[in-house]
Amino acid sequence: MNYIVFDLEWNQSPDGKRYENSKLPFEIIEIGAVKLNEKKEIIDSFHRLIKPQVYNWIHDSIHEVIHVNYKDLAQGMYFPKAAQEFIEWCGPEWYFFTWGNQDVMELQRNMKFYNILSLLPGPVTYYDVQKLYSIRYEDRKTRRSLEYTIDQLGIDKSHGFHRALEDAHYTAEVLKNIEDEYILPNSSIDVYQNPKKKKEEIYISYPDYDKYISREFYTKEKMMKDREVTSTRCPICQCAAKRKIRWFMHNSKVYYSISACPEHGLLKGKIRVRKTEANRYYAVKTLKLVDIEEAEEIRMKREALRRKRQLKRKLV
């Protein structure tokens, strides 16, 4: 199994959002990657510059952070060929590693734009080194910049940042400082290619919570009536935990609930409503054991919403 650490640089509409191509808001202009063996030794690297097809010069804000010349890009390769070579270079079996959670998604969106997404069937499992660093060295929640992390770990940073191959190298160096016991149970899943049918739905158990990704629904209301979407099974024993606070809408994208497992105590349910490019809906649900304080926070959120609604009713 190869460890593939990759980093992408992308461009955006140089004339602002109004002129962006909604199918490709971020156009990849550089792919950098390093390959590590199971002992986490770097054994190969990959680098391609990409000749842009959608946006014809580099957006100023991008220019400030990445140091690519448009002239160099003109010598680059067409994205479909570069992506195909990248996937071939990865080999038959690999784990993907990236810094943050955006690169895996953008890679797929660019591949879809050129009709080559079948080269990378989803949903794509990967490891977010930024998250792994937080799990290993901090509080699981904080997200640091790559440069901050490099400084903390005392890694040589003489190569500069914000070029794809350099950043992939730095990310690999951070990865070397994280033991497998922190990596393997903490994979991430990118749902750009989300489940379409019931049998494609995803269930994952993490050390401290369970995650479920539903199939698609035509409306949010239908989704929130689905038994599987709204079920609240205990992440430890899988028993049907009894609802203490029913699912309520916190905002248009998030629902919460509180349930109780007789054996393991209170659990917080959270449903994030996601919308696809084709305007369908799917749910990303997490179920996590919480203490009484966190459960109380959820109850107060519901109360605050109720009061707001009552007040509105009184005013009209």
CA 241 to chain CA centroid, nearest Å: 28
Return the percent helix, strand and coil in the chain, to nearest 5: 35, 30, 35
Is residue 240 within the footprint of Zn ion (CB under 5 A)? no
Phi-psi region for residue 158, left (φ > 0), alpha (ψ -120 to 50) or beta? alpha
Is residue 261 within the footprint of Zn ion (CB under 5 A)? yes
Q: 28 or 287, CB closer to Zn ion?
A: 287
Residue 21 · residue 54 · CB < 8 Å? yes
Is residue 208 within the footprint of Zn ion (CB under 5 A)? no
User: What is the C-alpha separation between 47 and 5, in angstroms, rounded?
Assistant: 12
Least CB distance from residue 236 to Zn ion, whole Å? 4
Least CB distance from residue 211 to Zn ion, whole Å? 17
Least CB distance from residue 234 to Zn ion, whole Å? 3
Residue 162 · residue 66 · CB < 8 Å? yes
Q: 153 or 260, CB closer to Zn ion?
A: 260
Is residue 263 within the footprint of Zn ion (CB under 5 A)? yes
Least CB distance from residue 220 to Zn ion, whole Å? 29
Q: 32 or 235, CB closer to Zn ion?
A: 235
Q: Give the range of 77-85, 89-97, 151-159, 258-266 binding Zn ion by CB under 5 A.
A: 258-266
**Minimal CA–CA distance to 49: which of 101, 102, 86, 90?**
86
Give the CB-nearest residue to Zn ion: 234
Here's the x/- map for Zn ion, 65-94, by CB under 5 A: it reads as ------------------------------
Residue 26 · residue 106 · CB < 8 Å? yes
Among 155, 236, 260, 305, binds Zn ion (CB under 5 A): 236
Give the bridge partners for 286, in sequence order: 211, 270
Residues making contact with Zn ion (CB under 5 A): 234, 236-237, 261, 263-264
